Amino acid sequence: MPKSHGARPKLGVAYFGNRYVGHARSDLGEIADMGASYVVHTMSEADLRWNPSTMRDLIAVGTELGLTAWVTPWALGGVFGGEAPSYAVMEHPEACQRDNRGNHLPALCPRQPVFRQLIREWLDAAAESGAEVCQWDEPHFARQWDEDSGGWACRCLACQEAFREAAHRDLPHDWDKEVAEFVHRSLAETVRWCVAEAGQRGLGSSIVLLPDGTDDATGWHELAALPGVRYFGGTPYWVFGGYPPEDVPQYLASWCARLVEATTGTLAKPLGWIQAFSIPAGRESEIRQGVDIMRTSGISSIAVWAYRACSAMSALAPDSPDLVWATVKEAFASTRTRQA
């Protein structure tokens, strides 16, 4: 039985693109009025460098309105999801990832000390901001293996050394099963370290995985069971992933089942993210459908990316942002009045 059976899921909205506190009061008030109980603030390297006090002010406004504050390391070091640039990548090319052909990639390697120090500084700011949860969003390498090109990352010196120590041989240039396991393990180790560092600062964690087109859920339960992990979820953005309307129900239901299974027997709640960006005209109703599928599948926390359908970002704006946002509100209202 889904662990949220008989209960309404918690609702959340991602918020970015504005650092004017007065304006945020109106925006966050709208989010609270929709029935959301939490807001996920993006906190980029630019925020870390230029806006730490502003982030505290934004979070304080949401808290006054009853919204639990989450923060996510938006594109931090090029390792997590997001469209923000990275100062650290520009300033530390020696700490960046390398693909299997030795090419420099625009992202820090998670094994490099520069990355670890950046995360510590970001977590210090997150703890001081008043946030309660850190969302480790879509951790990934800058080049993921694909059969057509045969390219993958990371094969920097630090990764080569780590592989050699574990496997007692050189890290191959070509992708094979052992390399795949090493790459998967590298990301899992990074997430475990981030969660532990957050916990040392009194912060809970939400782990959110990037769909990669595979059905491999190896290690999901172990990550969900980590001390301090409050939520474990994914971003099955169906339009972004290229799924046609007729395949959306099965795709989302499959993801929900895997997330519920991964969190069963743990303290983590299954979390599902709904796509509210880049929605083509005529497909707005799939948002309601997606929320309903998640609710009935036992997903106990449902969030939407992002506020106002990302209309502030033209590359991600839907064909009809106002209609998409109205549909989000309708879906939230329906969820608030129905039992799972």
| Tokens at 174, concatenated | 């070509």
Q: Please state the domain extents for the chain.
A: 10-93+113-141+202-337
Please give the CATH topology (third level) of the domain spanning 10-93+113-141+202-337: TIM Barrel (3.20.20)
| Tokens at 89, concatenated | 């990548």
Compute the half-sphere exposure of residue 172: CA atoms within 13 Å on the CB side of its CA: 13
Q: What is the pTM of this model?
A: 0.95
The bridge status of strand 96-98 relative to strand 104-108 is: antiparallel
| Tokens at 24, concatenated | 């945020």
Check whether the bond before 154 is cis (ω within 30° of 0): yes
| Tokens at 243, concatenated | 């799924």
Closest-CA residue to 137 (of 337, 311, 273):
273
Q: Going residue by residue through the chain (340 aa), what tens digit of pLDDT does each one get?
A: 444 444 789 999 999 999 999 999 999 999 999 999 999 999 999 999 999 999 999 999 999 999 999 999 999 999 999 999 999 999 999 999 999 999 999 999 999 999 999 999 999 999 999 999 999 999 999 999 988 889 999 999 999 999 999 999 999 999 999 999 999 999 999 999 999 999 999 999 999 998 875 556 779 999 999 999 999 999 999 999 999 999 999 999 999 999 999 999 999 999 999 999 999 999 999 999 999 999 999 999 999 999 999 999 999 999 999 999 999 999 999 998 875 4
